[in-house]
Amino acid sequence: MAAVGSGGSPAAAGPGVVSAGMLEPGTTTAAHRRLKYISLAVLVVQNASLILSIRYARTLPGDRFFATTAVVMAEVLKGLTCLLLLFAQKRGNVKHLVLFLHEAVLVQYVDTLKLAVPSLIYTLQNNLQYVAISNLPAATFQVTYQLKILTTALFSVLMLNRSLSRLQWASLLLLFTGVAIVQAQQAGGGSPRPLDQNPGAGLAAVVASCLSSGFAGVYFEKILKGSSGSVWLRNLQLGLFGTALGLVGLWWAEGTAVAHRGFFFGYTPAVWGVVLNQAFGGLLVAVVVKYADNILKGFATSLSIVLSTVASIRLFGFHVDPLFALGAGLVIGAVYLYSLPRGAAKAIASASASTSGPCTHQQPPGQPPPPQLSSHRGDVSTEPFLPKLLTKVKGS
């Protein structure tokens, strides 16, 4: 299956995997439709299952594992997986792989060092997610975490000189309103919570995680513009930095306790499930996201919110009151509106404008429409901004 590299070009499809370019003309549409549905399912399951599994593992009775060790283990497994994939791309030739890594990692050390900043932020973000999910219900976290769309959009405007449509700005305002309502419900004690949970600390961790996710994603995209490195190479480099920085964070935050009780203290099958989900879930999404357009990604986010809420009711006794339902509904609507292609957004805007008064200009029949200038400054793409493939690999 093909995966999009950092420069936006498809990487070679793996053996035994069907990509759009390998299909017969008569089966292209049907096969691509199936791949879109598969992509939707993978995105929904990965988005919801990671949050639910972390919440479940952190609320189990008994010894609680060290979150910093789980972050390090996920980085190690992710890096090893990318190394094996690169080894497979070199057809099992160890010499070619070593020469390739020497050239890409050591000789081009400037490009490698550029990844230290996003890797540091992603490591911090992964640790903050554990803090947030340990102190907030899974459904509340899932809704609030959509603020990363707002932060990513703002950083893209500031750092990449992108512009957003009016509908996108309105959807971001709607998103913020929905999150504020959900947090007001949480502060009002809408659902009973264990005594060891601190909603204030959870909210602060979510906001910090969203800020770091938005900045790291846009910074990652900016420094990798025009880069020819594959998605697996970039994630291997991120994994190297992530492992080293994760170990530093482990030593600083929980070094004494880990040294006394052991690195794998408190690890259960549920904890290993979390680690494997973090390690392989993002890489799996990196593969299937090629077949998911912006609408599908927005739909997947909305479905994952619904799935997390339903699962939280069943697993954790979460109570959905009207205030939470209103806030979550606003967030789901905002995510969908933000993910609409610019053409669809213009159609919605023109439809709403037509209901408020007569049109001031009509195109004569039979005449082609005048050319439209892109609202992006310095960007010829007319697709609305959403986090790129590589910005999602580490942060979800």
The answer to whether 312 and 52 are in contact (CB under 8 A) is yes
**Local mean pLDDT, 10-residue blocks, the chain (396 residues):** 37 35 50 78 86 90 90 93 91 90 87 87 91 90 90 89 89 92 75 69 92 87 70 86 93 92 93 91 73 71 88 87 90 87 58 48 48 38 37 44
The pTM (predicted TM-score) of the whole model is 0.72
Angle, CA of 28, 33 and 39, to the nearest 5° = 125
The answer to whether 125 and 220 are in contact (CB under 8 A) is no
CB atoms within 10 A of CB 244: 16
Residue written as tokens 């939280």?
A: 312
Which DSSP string do the residues of 71-104 spell out, in sequence order? HHHHHHHHHHHHHHHHHHHTTT-HHHHHHHHIII
In terms of Cα–Cα distance, which of 297, 373, 363, 370 is closest to 342? 373
Residue 384 is classified by DSSP as: P
Angle between helices 116-135 and 231-261 (to 10 degrees): 50
The CA distance from 154 to 162, in Å, is: 9
pLDDT per residue over 315-358, tens digit each? 888 888 888 999 999 999 998 888 887 665 555 555 554 544 44
In terms of Cα–Cα distance, which of 313, 270, 308, 282 is closest to 52? 308
Provide the CA 99 distance to its chain's centre, in angstroms: 32
In terms of Cα–Cα distance, which of 126, 148, 129 is closest to 215? 148
Residue written as tokens 């050591």?
A: 106
